[in-house]
Amino acid sequence: MSVKSITRFLIISSAALFCNTANSQILNELGSVHGNFQIDAAYYQKDTIIDADPGSELFRYNAFGNINYSKGGFSAGVRFESYNPPLLGYLPGYKGSGVPYRFARYQHKDIDITVGNFYEQFGSGITLRAYENRGLLYDNALDGMRVIFTPKRGITIKGLVGKQRTYFSLSPGVVRGIDGEVNIMDLFDSILGKLKQK
Separation in Å, CA 168 to CA 19, 41, 56, 98, 105: 45, 20, 23, 7, 22
* Angle in degrees, CA 108, 109, 113, rounded to 5: 45
pLDDT at residue 126 in the model: 92
Q: Cis (ω within 30 of 0) for the bond into 172?
A: no
Q: What's the confidence (pLDDT) of residue 54?
A: 74
Q: 175 CB contacts (<8 Å, ≥6 apart)?
A: 128, 142, 144, 160, 161, 162, 163, 164
pLDDT of residue 1: 46
Backbone phi, then psi, for 191, in 5-degree steps? -65, -45
User: What does pLDDT average to over the chain?
Assistant: 84
What is the C-alpha to C-alpha distance for residues 67 and 35, in angstroms, rounded to an integer?
Answer: 4
Which pLDDT score is estimated for 44?
87
41's CB contacts (< 8 A; 6+ apart) are: 59, 60, 61, 62, 63, 87
Confidence of residue 6 (pLDDT cuts 50, 70, 90): very low
pTM: 0.76
Task: Decide if 160 contacts 177 (C-beta within 8 A).
Answer: yes
Beta bridge partners of residue 36, listed in sequence order: 66
pLDDT digits (tens, 9 = 90+) for 121-146: 998 999 999 999 988 889 999 999 99
Rounded to an integer, the average pLDDT of 42-62 is 83
CA dist list (Å): 24 to 19, 39, 168: 8, 32, 39
